[in-house]
Structure 1
Amino acid sequence: MPATSPPSSAPDAQALGTGGRIVQANNLDVLPTLASGSFTLIYLDPPFNTGRVQRRQGTTAVRASAGTGTITGFKGNSYDRIKGDLLRYDDVFENYWEFLEPRLLEAWRLLADDGTLYLHLDYREAHYAKVLLDALFGRESFLNEIIWAYDYGAKSKTRWPTKHDTILVYVKNPDAYFFNSEEVDREPYMAPGLVTPERAARGKLPTDVWWHTIVSPTGHEKTGYPTQKPEGILRRIVQASSRPDDAVLDFFAGSGTTGAVASALGRRFTLVDQNPEAIAVMRARLPGATFEALDSRA
């Protein structure tokens, strides 16, 4: 059962970035240096698999019974790597999931017992990710598949336009995870005439389908970073799955939206990215954060 805590007020906006750390490095070099169980919330927005289509020998992980697999897993379980021409990869990565899998293993280790992982992907990879996370975390740790739907940009005339991302939500311990829906900002009813005026005025709790615009090209949030996600999406995640002063981790940090939202809501954060452009955006956006360069190019 999820634990809850009462709502809290956000800190002064001038403190933005305070309590945060920005690290320039390959995330796989940084993650092993962080203490196990350090973070209540991990949000990951890894590179989407959107490049050239190429078919090759794929690798995936399948959960096996305790002690029977070739690799020791979580809670005494183990899993086998099953190789075969099973997966179709859409990127310049030699193997996208060999890139992502060790980082997800680290995410599991770094989550606190009451912690939650939010993995943000697009439609090309979400179904593969679900299979992989079921193997690594256990199916019992699956909490939600969130659909973020938006309506902006070009529209295809040869198929249904693709206007959504998928966010997979997994918990470290299905019996102890933290979740507080009362802290989440409410949204308007789509049919307010079907509820009482009092309920319509209060608004409703979001479901697992989130209608939210992308970052406006002319809006105040815009940093110029190409994969920037809107603060409203991260705000909902941070409100629901962390408490004030909890630690939040994003090791594909990009424009730093996770840190900006975490700071505004009184959470501590660690952001990791290797891209110098991302680091420059984050340092300007979060001037109160401490900065560390572990990358040889920094």
Structure 2
Amino acid sequence: MTEQRMPEDSCVLEGDNLRVLPTLPDGAFTLIYIDPPFNTGREQRRTETTHVRANGVGSGRVTGFKGQTYERIRGQLRRYDDAFDDYWAFLEPRILEAWRLLADDGTLYLHLDYREAHYAKVLCDAVFGRDCFLNEIIWAYDYGGKSKSRWPTKHDTILVYVKNPQSYVFNSDAIDREPYMAPGLVTPEKAARGKLPTDVWWHTIVSPTGKEKTGYPTQKPLGVLRRIIQASSNEGDWVLDFFAGSGTTGAAAKALGRNYVLVDQNPEALAVMRKRLA
């Protein structure tokens, strides 16, 4: 049996996340943010696990998605898309680990693009239960090439699930506010304060020539992670990112007084994080 323990301080752990995550204890993290590969393009080794939602339906049979069982959902969707099994097999054991590692008041932010978001939504409905779905956040940006044969794809999807829909951290007063699009329609006081962001976030990507750029190819903006961490954790809480990449989650957590655990096995990512978080 794998020994489970928390690090004493914020840290970066090197290794395959499916090997590292079982060494961390149940319910240890208030916030988990993950930005997995959108389409792995390679065969994945499936890992068996018995970590399932504790709702009395029996091991391995999680109820969700209109009350249907986990296995039935998977079987039905398999008939429609040959690629479904590959991505389900890749993501499922990691989502199950995320559910286990979340505290009762914890929140998962799962960052995807349009190619995989629908697969992940069905999987998370099954694992967490549809009543634990909090938001679908659309991160919209306007940078890069523009297609002339279709609507240009300029957004990512962030699925938000809570462990307990009756009790979860959400600090609306702590979130950095943004300008009103029509400030003349509100009072001067409201215009000066700004408004609470909605579930559509307009935020530029990391500029290729900007100060924030680390050189890591899939780096996410600090502002996006700052907003997530402000909303769904408190100072001193533990934040986990097990597809850590350039370490943006750790940088934002550190600046906001949170503890973090980052996991990655890519030598390039580890080198970037070592320099960025030193």
Number of the residue aligned with 1:217: 208
Give the AA of the match of 1:26.
D
Number of the residue aligned with 2:39: 49
Q: How does 1:22-61 map to 2 (within 5 A)?
A: 22-49=12-39
Q: How does 1:12-161 map to 2 (within 5 A)?
A: 19-49=9-39, 66-67=56-57, 71-73=60-62, 79-80=70-71, 82-83=74-75, 84-89=78-83, 95-161=86-152
More helix by share: 2
8 A Cα contact 2:105 2:163, kept in partner: yes
Give the AA of the match of 1:199.
K
Number of the residue aligned with 1:8: none
Q: 1:137 deviation in Å?
A: 0.2
Measure the CA separation in 1 of the matches of 2:70 and 2:209: 48
Which secondary structure state, in structure 1, belongs to the residue aligned with residue 206 of structure 2? coil
Measure the CA separation in 2 of the matches of 1:139 and 1:156: 35
Measure the CA separation in 2 of the matches of 1:150 and 1:272: 27
8 A Cα contact 1:19 1:263, kept in partner: no
Task: Could you tell me which runs of 5 or more consecutive residues in structure 2 were left unpaired when the two chains were aligned.
Answer: 1-7, 43-52
Which secondary structure state, in structure 2, belongs to the residue aligned with residue 80 of structure 1? helix
Task: Could you tell me which runs of 5 or more consecutive residues in structure 1 were left unpaired when the two chains were aligned.
Answer: 1-17, 53-62, 288-298
Number of the residue aligned with 2:196: 205
TM-score w.r.t. structure 2 length?
0.86
Q: 1:95 deviation in Å?
A: 1.1
Identity of aligned residues (%): 73
8 A Cα contact 1:186 1:204, kept in partner: yes
Q: 1:127 deviation in Å?
A: 1.2
Number of the residue aligned with 2:187: 196
Q: 1:87 deviation in Å?
A: 2.3
More strand by share: 1
8 A Cα contact 1:49 1:89, kept in partner: no
1:252 aligned to which of 230, 243, 259: 243
RMSD of aligned Cα (Å): 2.3
Measure the CA separation in 2 of the matches of 1:184 and 1:222: 24
Which secondary structure state, in structure 2, belongs to the residue aligned with residue 71 of structure 1? coil
Cα distance per residue 1:61-85 (max 9 Å; x no partner): xx9x954x7724489x963254343
Number of the residue aligned with 1:178: 169
Cα distance per residue 1:149-191 (max 9 Å; x no partner): 0000000000000000000000000011110110000001111
Measure the CA separation in 1 of the matches of 2:96 and 2:160: 15
Aligned residues between the structures: 254
Measure the CA separation in 2 of the matches of 1:236 and 1:143: 16
Give the AA of the match of 1:44.
I
8 A Cα contact 1:252 1:271, kept in partner: yes
8 A Cα contact 2:69 2:126, kept in partner: no
TM-score w.r.t. structure 1 length?
0.81
Which secondary structure state, in structure 2, belongs to the residue aligned with residue 95 of structure 1? helix
Which has the higher mean CA deviation after the structures are superposed, 207-216 or 125-134? Answer: 125-134
8 A Cα contact 1:70 1:79, kept in partner: no
1:272 aligned to which of 241, 244, 263: 263
